[in-house]
Structure 1
Amino acid sequence: MTQTIPSVQLGSTGPRVGRIGLGAMGMSGMYGPASEVESVATVHAALDSGANLIDTGDFYGMGHNEMLIGRAIAERPRDEVVLSVKFGAMRGPDGAFVGTDGRPAAVRNFLSYSLQRLGVDHIDVYRLARLDPNVPIEDTIGAIAELVQAGYVRHIGLSEVGPDTIRRAAAVHPIVDLQIEYSLISRGIEDAIAPTCRELGIGITAYGVLSRGLLSDSVRPGTTFAPTDFRAHSPRFQGENLDRNMRLVDALGEIARARGVSVAQLAIAWVLTRGADIVPILGARTTARWAETVGALDITLTAAELAAIEAAVPADQVAGERYASAQMAMLDSER
């Protein structure tokens, strides 16, 4: 394997991973159709570049994503891949999200299916996708800890939870990372969540770094999305909200052009400056997008450029919540 990107340790107790990781959700229809051939090629390109952290969820495409990743890594040495898997989100046959199940018995059940679909004997980082309001986090983490003892899981992570839940989980078992949205226009973790993670030696795997494509060249004012596309239901991509947000992106684009880089690369580079304990997870679906992503690692931003970037995209000027109201209500991190 040709190593082209540096690696960092995930939290104080986790594995070493590439400085950026690959998020696979978009390969299973969340942003419209995706080519399986190109998706597999993108996984291989990420691994070849040194990005060994591959993030999936058992509910992405109702199992499709795990099977796809399983096929993509089947011929690779198992120790070349750090598999991060989210579980617990329940979906109906129409694709609707209908709740979260963090009961200990459900944890063991979800894991069994994930191991089968991925074709592996262990998951590297296992995490509940959303806090189950009916199950104490101690019970869920305790169940995963038993799976760690049994050898089916290597490390435990968290997803979209707030400081109190982070502390309660860490009191049960070491937590290697918190997966949570973080970008120029989603900066809610900065006040309390990131400091809590740093206090406890917990890394952050940041998703939504490009804000579902908003911080890129793929969305323009008036863009419409298919009903199956996540963005068709995201407030930030609707009507006047989209127009207002695009004005922020255009301001960022002026800085990107002056540097000779893409808006997406500039947005990734900004997140990379926020600390070595933050590992961006990028949802590339093509090898070309992955190559663009890797290019962000070569960008060094000066203090003046960072100030200009943050002035161009003030967090308090972003229009619309990051999820629809029903999904926002499920986020412990937003309470």
Structure 2
Amino acid sequence: MAATKVGRIKLGSQGLEVSAQGLGCMGMSAIYGPPKPEADMVALIHHAINSGVTLLDTSDVYGPHTNEILLGKALKAGVRNRVELATKFGIHLTEGQREIRGDPASVRAACEGSLKRLGVDCIDLYYQHRIDTRVPIEVTIGELKKLVEEGKVKYIGLSEASASTIRRAHAVHPITAVQLEWSLWSRDVEEEIVPTCRELGIGIVAYSPLGRGFLSSGPKMVETLSNDDFRKYLPRFQPENLKHNERLYEQVNKIAARKECTPSQLALAWIHHQGNDVCPIPGTTKIENFKQNIAAVALKLTPEEMAELESIASADAVKGDRYIGTFATYHESETPPLSSGQPV
């Protein structure tokens, strides 16, 4: 496979420039089974940077904390000035219980913690991972704005936020990027959220662009998941939905065979063709898979092929919710209105 050099795109309207494809680092440390060997993951991160993939995505909740520590170790090799470092705050795990926090004190404490674990003076792109529906979004963004003014954060992002929440946040301080799940089997964001981002000049970061691995290897992946792999319990991977969802993979696979590429390359190319304001961040723990993923940047799809893919990835093509019911998404991201006199 010929080496692929990944180009650059502008993300948002505030001046942030990133690699056209990023690297989701979560699975290296947590969520998708046990942590992977640290030395191997550092080598993978360095290989990504040398290939031009410089947008590295993590969060304080991955581990928790261990993924940020891993990235901190990788950055000690003198590569900090070559990467765009993105992390997130807002999901707290206490004795196995999840709590979403967006109050100013927790925002500031989370930022200080991430800076320390990452070993950096400034976070390039800092996302609110989930929206705290108890705190007006203006209050949370107001604290983030202070962190920007203090030089601790360069650009602000949101993850899993509704269109109205994005608008309210953007009115307080420019939002550079919105992270959302977007792939051939998660297309609901195209209705309202993607158009809102484009209207406001906000970049789009697509997480799980390979359907959490389903668009790479289909139903057989479910058989290999360990009991501590988060995906094992997702509705779309349950037997009652999996058989239906297998059809989508089979059709993607047929088109990929015709294109002489892998299904994952085809799925990633589809996302890349959505526009030059979209950066997918597929995760992997293997250099060989990484090489396959970045090759998708150069894969060209005709309008007819795009239409064919979109026809098989219609709204009824997938059964099952994206998350277990207790996990918040943009559907549960409306916050109270800002009270008069409430500081921002």
In which range does the TM-score fall when normalised by the shorter chain? over 0.9
Alpha carbons 2:222, 2:237 under 8 Å: kept: no
CA 1:319–1:296 in structure 2 vs 1: closer, same or farther (change >3 Å)?
Answer: same
Alpha carbons 1:126, 1:155 under 8 Å: kept: yes
Shift of 1:97: 4.5
CA 1:243–1:222 in structure 2 vs 1: closer, same or farther (change >3 Å)?
Answer: farther
Cα distance in 2 for partners of 1:232, 1:23 equals: 19
| Number of the residue aligned with 1:223 | 223
What is the DSSP-based 3-state SS (H/G/I as helix, E as strand, rest coil) of the residue aligned with 2:327? Answer: helix
Alpha carbons 1:221, 1:243 under 8 Å: kept: no
Alpha carbons 1:157, 1:179 under 8 Å: kept: yes
CA 1:296–1:99 in structure 2 vs 1: closer, same or farther (change >3 Å)?
Answer: same
Match status 1:285 vs 2:281: no
Match status 1:44 vs 2:69: no
| Number of the residue aligned with 1:29 | 30
Cα distance in 1 for partners of 2:281, 2:221 equals: 26
Shift of 1:17: 0.4
| Number of the residue aligned with 1:5 | 6
Alpha carbons 2:160, 2:330 under 8 Å: kept: no
The CA deviation string for residues 244-276 of structure 1, in whole angstroms up to 9 with x for no partner, is: 111210111011011111110000000111111
CA 1:214–1:333 in structure 2 vs 1: closer, same or farther (change >3 Å)?
Answer: farther
Shift of 1:331: 4.5
| Number of the residue aligned with 1:315 | 315
What is the DSSP-based 3-state SS (H/G/I as helix, E as strand, rest coil) of the residue aligned with 2:99? Answer: strand
The CA deviation string for residues 8-49 of structure 1, in whole angstroms up to 9 with x for no partner, is: 111111411000000101011311132222211111111111
| Number of the residue aligned with 1:150 | 150
Cα distance in 2 for partners of 1:330, 1:305 equals: 30
Cα distance in 2 for partners of 1:241, 1:224 equals: 17
Cα distance in 1 for partners of 2:310, 2:321 equals: 19
Cα distance in 1 for partners of 2:97, 2:214 equals: 23
Q: How many aligned residue pairs are there?
A: 332
Shift of 1:64: 0.3
What is the DSSP-based 3-state SS (H/G/I as helix, E as strand, rest coil) of the residue aligned with 1:57? Answer: coil
CA 1:71–1:252 in structure 2 vs 1: closer, same or farther (change >3 Å)?
Answer: same
Shift of 1:176: 0.4
Aligned-CA RMSD value: 1.9
What is the DSSP-based 3-state SS (H/G/I as helix, E as strand, rest coil) of the residue aligned with 1:120? Answer: coil
Cα distance in 2 for partners of 1:311, 1:330 equals: 25
What is the DSSP-based 3-state SS (H/G/I as helix, E as strand, rest coil) of the residue aligned with 1:133? Answer: coil
Which of residues 90, 93, 97 is equivalent to 2:92?
A: 90
Cα distance in 2 for partners of 1:209, 1:21 equals: 11
TM-score by structure 1 length?
0.95
Shift of 1:111: 0.8
Alpha carbons 1:3, 1:48 under 8 Å: kept: no
The CA deviation string for residues 149-206 of structure 1, in whole angstroms up to 9 with x for no partner, is: 1111111111100111001000000110000100011011111111111111000000
Alpha carbons 2:162, 2:330 under 8 Å: kept: no
Shift of 1:214: 0.6
Shift of 1:92: 2.6
Tell which deviates more after alignment, 308-317 or 10-19: 308-317
Shift of 1:242: 1.2
What is the DSSP-based 3-state SS (H/G/I as helix, E as strand, rest coil) of the residue aligned with 2:33? Answer: coil
Unmatched tracts of structure 1, length 5 or more: none
Tell which deviates more after alignment, 261-270 or 219-228: 219-228
| Number of the residue aligned with 1:139 | 139
Cα distance in 2 for partners of 1:224, 1:238 equals: 14
| Number of the residue aligned with 1:58 | 60
% identical aligned pairs: 44
What is the DSSP-based 3-state SS (H/G/I as helix, E as strand, rest coil) of the residue aligned with 1:90? Answer: strand
TM-score by structure 2 length?
0.92
Alpha carbons 2:130, 2:328 under 8 Å: kept: no
CA 1:150–1:328 in structure 2 vs 1: closer, same or farther (change >3 Å)?
Answer: closer
User: 1:1-335 to 2 correspondence within 5 Å?
Assistant: 4-33=5-34, 34-93=36-95, 96-217=96-217, 219-220=219-220, 223=223, 225-328=225-328, 331-332=331-332
The CA deviation string for residues 56-79 of structure 1, in whole angstroms up to 9 with x for no partner, is: 000100100000001111113422
| Number of the residue aligned with 2:339 | none
